[in-house]
Structure 1
Amino acid sequence: MALEVTNLVGGYSQIPVLHQVTFDVQPGELVGLIGLNGAGKSTTINHLIGLLQPFAGSIVLNGHNIQTDPVSYKEQIAYVPEAPVLYDELTLREHIEVTIKAYHLNSEQAWQRAQKLLKTFRLDNKLDWFPADFSKGMKQKVMIVCAFMTDEKLYIIDEPFYGLDPLAVQDLLNLIEQKKQQGAGILMSTHVLDTAEKYCDRFVLLNSGHVTFKGSLQAMRAANNDQSASLNDIYLSMAKGDRHE
């Protein structure tokens, strides 16, 4: 089973931003969601996490439809937003406790996973710090810890690399690889194409709310008639071509 997005039409108010968007994320793979600013990446993610309701189409995760069975659907998702969202009045320790309660996790096991992640991201000595004490990069690490301490079926990660130092970027990539090996599906929106090229199994290219390509880098190269082209080169070529249509 997997995430299946089928003919999704959606947006804000009654204005469609997404037009018949169809793609999937399979267990054990990392799918890169790429596109120019305004292409519809954030709108797509907002529909996947339930902040927006589809005008038409369906979003189903392992048989659970977000519209007809939203609780069972959302119980399978962990989300790392582009801009960290933390509670000013809660310490790092309390953020972890809230995550444990929200996901109905076994407290002892969850804390074991959290402690390992805290050490990896060099936050293990900051459990009593408040968000005001953290830099933007540290806040991003808190979001990563809270998401990946769960054991969900799907991880949705929106532009995760901005604000992270190079070591933290590599730590996150290692963590993503671990989750893939455990069978989780991961959808990642990013503009960091050189990293995406190395780590993503497949790509979904959005332009003006339409899926203009979906497939592997090899398939993208074949479609572009250049077997040695980088993802960045192909992306720019496809994006410019779509933009002028």
Structure 2
Amino acid sequence: MIEVKINHAGYHTEQLYLSDIHFSILSGETVGLLGANGAGKSTTIKSIIGTMEAFDGEIHIKDEHQLAYIPEEPILYDHLTLWEHLRLAATSYDLPNNEWIPKAEKLLKLFLLNGKEHHFPIHFSKGMKQKTLIVLSFMVQADIYIIDEPFIGLDPIATKNLITLLEEEKQRGAAILMTTHVLDSAEKLCDNFVLLHEGKMLFQGTLNELQQRTNQPLNTSLLDCFYYLLEEELVNASRL
């Protein structure tokens, strides 16, 4: 569905942070992009969606499939109501009214935003803004979802509903790339993982393969495996 090949990338040519990041996401697959703060997750996402200034590589999206992006920090228009945001998204994706309106109404109710349609999201709480972006993205039912820290700011009910939506979209055949620090959720949701450290890719594969890579038992959690892998990397770096 999408192939990512980043030879080098950064915010300008004198500061190329990422190097040799190569992975792919298949239809119906969820990939967790993981790493500590500053590992390069957001830079990788910006490279994929084409907003990174300095980029050397190739992002191949099969058959020009539609892509939806949910950023960590909600970006909304100051002077558009929630419903006007929804209409704008529907127009951008050429969705007919009889298709997008029922989806939007269902999602607004699911995320407890019904009754807020004619309010300005700029005045919403961070959690409500995040829900607005989720409604906008899932309303269009894209082929590929790029989601940066989706659970930050969400209440438990919204988190549960988002997980359900992600599973439904995965079953529909969507490809999903998700960054999150909530590794318990990542372990349950993701089929494969890409682990970054200081702009480089430490590992790509399944949890079982990560357990083998770190010489851990099969019941070892993603969090523990991630910790062991980073610890090993730090030890190796100290020997150089």
- The alignment's TM-score, normalised by the length of structure 1, stands at 0.92
Write the distance in 2 (CA, Å) between the matches of 1:110 and 1:163.
Answer: 26
Amino acid at match of 1:32: G
State the SS of the aligned residue for 1:57. Answer: strand
Checking the alignment, whether the CA contact within 8 Å between 1:93 and 1:127 is kept in structure 2 is: yes
Amino acid at match of 1:236: Y
Counterpart Cα distance in 1 of 2:18 and 2:123: 38
Q: Does structure 1 retain, via aligned residues, the 8 Å contact 2:77–2:122?
A: no
CA distance in 2 between counterparts of 1:141 and 1:111 reads 17
Runs (4+) of structure 1 exceeding 6 A deviation are: none
Equivalent position to 2:207, from 217, 221, 233: 217
CA contact (8 A) 1:10 1:55 kept: yes
Offset at residue 7 of structure 1 (A)? 4.2
Query: Are residues 1:16 and 2:7 paired?
Result: no
Cα deviation for residue 242 of structure 1 reads 2.0
Structure 1 match to 2:138 = 148
- Return the alpha-carbon distance in structure 2 between the equivalents of residues 55 and 30 of structure 1: 25
Specify the SS of the correspondent of 1:22. Answer: strand
3-state SS of 1:100 partner:
helix
Corresponding residue SS for 2:95: coil
| 2:224 counterpart letter in structure 1 | D
Query: Cα offset for 1:131?
Result: 1.8
1:112 is aligned to 2:102: yes
Q: Spell out the pairing of 1:114-133 with structure 2 (5 A cutoff).
A: 114-133=104-123
| Kept after mapping to 1: 8 A contact 2:111/2:161 | yes
**Once superposed, what is the RMSD of the aligned Cα atoms?**
1.3
Residue of structure 2 aligned with 1:80, choices 47, 70, 82? 70
- 2:56 is matched with 56
Q: Per-residue deviation at 1:12?
A: 1.1
Superposed CA offset, 1:34-56 (max 9, x none): 00111100000001111115532
Q: TM-score, normalised by structure 2?
A: 0.93
Q: Which runs of 5+ in 1 are unaligned?
A: 64-71
Counterparts of 1:225 and 1:58, CA distance in 2: 34
